[in-house]
Amino acid sequence: MPLPLKHLHVFLLFLGLIGACSHPSEPKSEAIGQQRWVGTIETGTASIPFRFELNDSSLTLINRTEKIVLLQAKNYSDTVYYSIPHTEGRIAIIKTSPDILYGKWLNPQLPEQDFKFSAKPDPISHTHHPQAETQDQRYHVTFVSNDRADSSEAIGLLSFSESGVYGTFITQTGDYRFMEGTRTGNNFWLSSFDGNNLYYAMGAISGEKITAGTFYSKAYPPRYWFGQVSDEKILSDPDSLTTFYPEEQFSFSARNFNGDTVIFEANSFVDKVTVVSIFGSWCRNCHDELEMYRDLHQNFNHPGFHVIPLAFEKHKDPENARKSVERVFLALEIPFIPYYGGKASKSAASAIFPSLGEIHAYPTTIIVDKKAQVRKVHSGFTGPGTGSYYENYRKEINLFITDLLAE
């Protein structure tokens, strides 16, 4: 029987304590010590680099300043499996010698494909990170499909040193998080791998332009891209994409993860400031947003501030959807009680909120005031990988909620 969600926070804490105190029952592999590696994942369309550290009990994925720790799960003969904390995926490694590793990335979202990789010790000293050497340059980026049938705009935030590059891309609905790579002359590449998303961009610098760009993601067809240094407005205001009627009181219904319908009537929002976060456990931008609201909730420590996460999942079975959400909430230490909206689609999310227009992005955040009226609907999220964009938005939301609490 599913766990009553009112006890979910206790359950997550309990699991966290178990995870911290338990060890695999299988025999440990030979001690290998702490070492940084550079791996190459073969997707069928590209060979994509990624960085990680390996020790006797864990594997740590490294994306610029982000570190994601994967604990050792099982050993089978020479193969060691590491669990990815926020997904159902795993990384399997066969230690063949001190100089090279072979393994697989097991991704349940692409069950017919196990992505093979090899890795060698990283020869580069990381004492000085390229972030300290340069400032972000803002590019107007255009992505074009490989058949040239469609295109989309984005902001490229890229910083170059003589030998390195780091940055990210901001789209209308989110960002590609922490990317890092190398530069040789005018040619460069940068990549990111968090156990779920795999991104790889390559291109060439030509004055204030970027040319000959190709962008890869998992096993999907590559896209071409180019960029031009620009401070012009590129993307629409994320607060303007979903319409709402501020004179109407807000209400909606969803389910808890016991399968019961929960009606959030207008009077349940009165005298409170409420954030409704439309998210998916499969969405890393959603994770970043949930972490921001976790921190804001802790900092406010105000009895009138509430956060309601509403999950839309790719699993058809609600029980598997519940497990996916619990896995994310445990990994990120999210204290809020989540609810279930249904299938991961924008139309399904739109149907739940009769007083709103179309939902355009995951995540989407609805902020409701003490009179149960919607005051803001924000589509997408620019996370910590975007630097000042994230910091400015976090300050804006902090001030916005502070003002609503004071009304």
Per-residue pLDDT of the chain (407 residues), as tens digits, is 344 444 444 334 333 433 333 333 333 333 345 689 999 999 988 999 999 999 888 999 999 999 999 999 878 878 999 999 998 889 999 877 889 999 999 987 766 678 999 999 987 755 444 444 455 799 999 999 887 778 999 999 999 998 999 999 999 999 999 999 999 999 999 999 999 999 999 999 999 999 999 999 886 789 999 999 999 999 999 999 999 988 889 999 999 999 999 999 999 999 999 999 999 999 999 999 999 999 999 999 999 999 999 999 998 889 999 999 999 999 999 999 999 999 999 999 999 998 899 999 999 999 999 999 999 999 999 999 999 999 999 999 999 999 999 99
Choose which CATH entry (1.10.2020.10, 1.10.3720.10, 2.40.128.120, 3.40.50.300) describes domain 130-229.
Answer: 2.40.128.120
> pLDDT at position 44, please?
87
Q: Which residue shows structure tokens 């303007």?
A: 240
Instruction: Look at residue 147 in the predicted model and tell me its pLDDT.
Output: 78
As a whole number of angstroms, the distance between CA 377 and CA 179 comes to 28
Q: Looking at this protein, which amino acid is placed at residue 353?
A: F
Question: Are β-strands 164-170 and 66-76 bridged in parallel, bridged antiparallel, or unpaired?
Answer: unpaired
Task: Specify which residues 95 forms β-bridges with.
Answer: 101
What is the rounded CA–CA span in Å between residue 176 and residue 169? 6
Query: Residues 316, 322, 324, CA angle at the centre, nearest 5°?
Result: 85
Q: Would you list the domain boundaries of the chain? A: 32-121, 130-229, 252-406
Helical pair 284-300 and 318-332, crossing angle rounded to 10 deg: 60
Q: How far apart are CA 71 and CA 331, in angstroms?
A: 12
Q: What is the pLDDT of residue 232?
A: 93
For the segment(s) 252-406, the CATH number from 3.10.20.30, 3.40.30.10, 3.40.50.300, 1.20.120.420 is: 3.40.30.10
Q: CA–CA distance from 337 to each of 25, 280, 352, 361 (Å)? A: 32, 14, 18, 22
Q: What is the token pair recorded at 37?
A: 């590696």
CA–CA dist 17, 19 (Å, integer): 5
7: Cβ contacts below 8 Å, ≥ 6 apart: none
Alpha-carbon torsion (5, 194, 312, 392), positive or negative? positive
What is the per-residue pLDDT for 34? 63
Which helix (H) or strand (E) segment holds residue 137: the answer is strand 137-145
Q: Which fold has domain 32-121?
A: Porin (2.40.160)
